[in-house]
Amino acid sequence: MRAKRTIVQKIVKEFNKGLRRIYYYNYTKIKYFYLSAKFFFLNKKITNHNISLLLPTRERSDKFNRMLESLKNTCHDLSRIEILILIDTDDKNFHDYEKIINDNKSKIKINFFVKDFKTHAIRNNFLANNCSGDLLFPINDDMVFVSKNWDLQLDTEFSKNFNNKPFCLWIDAGNRYKYFHCDFPIVNRNWYKRLGYIGSEYFNFWYLDSWICELSRRSNTFLLSYKIIVKQFSAHSNENEVDNTHLKNIRSGDQAKDDIIWLETQNKRIMEAKKLL
């Protein structure tokens, strides 16, 4: 059993946490200003990118449709977007997904996979291995796009990565401390090639985004942009979003297991971050 912290230890912990917040708040602001100014003064060209949206989902065809509608309403150029969607073989909403995809296949490229995999990371890695985009964007079915022409802004932000090395973009997903974490980090193909995966397969379900953010922080290969906004209708904060998939994940106990795995894999994250340098 972990010993309880003394009052002094608690104060020191909160003080260090505050310093860390100040540091990353200023660091991300300064870095964004520096790369943007460098891009402007060097008159660099904006590169257009093909974008792959990776979406494992289960029994949430209505949420998938909501996400898809927001995508169509906000994306400037749907022709360079591909969605890779994966459901399980026993998904009760199979025909609903199929109908939505058929209704939209003339507007946007959607690759539909029906396969059984054990974990969320394995599902995402399967989709990443089958995608063709320059940018890999893991998303959730309960997410919607908010920013108009977000794909054009994505081009601009990734074009600030002058040498096209492994790079990760943090967007505004509504996190309280956006300079600490992003729920939907986006990586370029060189990032994926260096690591050989999009999500660490150590975990049962959670921590895909946390792993990406941690590696990007440790390797200093990320940029925080407030100009691309998405919104997640999380069941943790929206009662109307609670569904069978959410309840199944909560009852599994996998989050508590993943919390332990996260602590045990710190050295592995240090090693993996070095691959991105």
**Side chain identity at residue 115, one-letter code:** K
**What is the rounded average pLDDT of the residues 139-168?**
96
231 DSSP β-pair partners: 144
**What is the rounded average pLDDT of the residues 154-179?**
94
Query: Is 1 a domain residue?
Result: no
Of the candidate ranges 45-54, 82-91, 96-105, 228-237, the one whose mean pLDDT is the lowest: 228-237
- CATH number for position 158: 3.90.550.10
Query: Is 66 a domain residue?
Result: yes
What pLDDT is stored for residue 238 in this prediction? 75
Q: Which of 53, 275, 265, 273 is nearest to 145 (CA)?
A: 53
C-alpha distances in angstroms, 235 versus 3, 17, 188, 242, 250? Answer: 33, 28, 29, 5, 11
Angle, to 10 degrees, between the axis of helix 208-219 and the axis of helix 120-130? Answer: 70
Cα separation, 213 vs 203, whole angstroms: 15
Query: Is 238 a domain residue?
Result: yes
Query: Is 2 a domain residue?
Result: no
Of the candidate ranges 128-142, 222-236, 237-251, the one whose mean pLDDT is the lowest: 237-251
What pLDDT is stored for residue 62 in this prediction? 96
Q: What percent of the chain has a predicted confidence (pLDDT) above 70? A: 94
SS (H, E, C) 79-90: HHEEEEEEECCC
**What is the rounded average pLDDT of the residues 234-245?**
70
Domain of residue 88, residue span:
9-274
223 DSSP β-pair partners: 169
- Average predicted confidence (pLDDT) for the chain: 92
What pLDDT is stored for residue 208 in this prediction? 96
C-alpha distances in angstroms, 115 versus 122, 131, 211, 244? Answer: 11, 16, 24, 19
Query: Is 186 a domain residue?
Result: yes
Of the candidate ranges 6-20, 42-56, 71-85, 170-184, the one whose mean pLDDT is the lowest: 6-20
pLDDT at 268 over 70: yes
pLDDT at 155 over 90: yes
Per-residue pLDDT band at 13 (split at 50, 70, 90): confident
Query: Is 90 a domain residue?
Result: yes
What pLDDT is stored for residue 1 in this prediction? 44
Residues 243-267: tens digit of each pLDDT: 777 667 666 668 889 999 999 999 9
Query: Is 3 a domain residue?
Result: no
**What is the rounded average pLDDT of the residues 83-97?**
97
Number of domains making up the chain:
1
Query: Is 4 a domain residue?
Result: no
What pLDDT is stored for residue 3 in this prediction? 54
